[in-house]
Amino acid sequence: MPDTDQPRIIADTLREQIAVGQLCPGQKIPDDRTLARRFGVPRTTAQSAIRRLHDEGLVHTVHDSAFVSDILTPHTPESGREPRYTASTITDAALDRLYAELYQLRRQCRIHRSSAAGSVAG
């Protein structure tokens, strides 16, 4: 049976790009029109995928653009959502792992950006 949950497929693809450093903290993700064209789906489907990532705290929106969130930045009370990490739910070991993951993600982003800049210049 084919997978028909297109918003999940799009969100999974973007989540993977974030995980491998193709989309870096602070970087704008493709807009709903671009995602709709890329995946051959209606814009509302792409918007639903972006909303899923927003609800997970992986992206934040500014006006009509979505950006990759810094994974250690908790949601603020103004956002109407609970923080992803709080002092009562995170241990020192977990925090150390998160910092290590963030370091690796930022390192991958620098490598990806420098190789992309080199291919454009070359």
Q: Does some domain include residue 12?
A: yes
pLDDT in tens, 54-72: 888 888 888 888 888 875 4
Q: Does some domain include residue 102?
A: yes
pTM for the complete prediction?
0.58
Q: Does some domain include residue 70?
A: yes
Tell me which long-range contacts 104-107 makes (C-beta under 8 A, separation of at least 24): 105/18, 105/19, 105/21, 105/24, 105/25, 105/71, 106/24, 106/25, 107/21
Q: Does some domain include residue 1?
A: no
Higher pLDDT, 41 or 25: 41
CATH code for the domain of 65: 1.10.10.10
pLDDT in tens, 65-102: 888 887 544 444 554 555 454 444 556 666 667 777 87
d(CA 21, CA 42): 27
**Distance (Å) of CA 120 to CA 18, 22, 108, 117:** 22, 16, 18, 5
Instruction: Supply the mean pLDDT for the chain.
Output: 77
Q: Does some domain include residue 19?
A: yes
**Which residue range is the domain that position 88 belongs to?**
6-121
Q: How many domains does the chain have?
A: 1
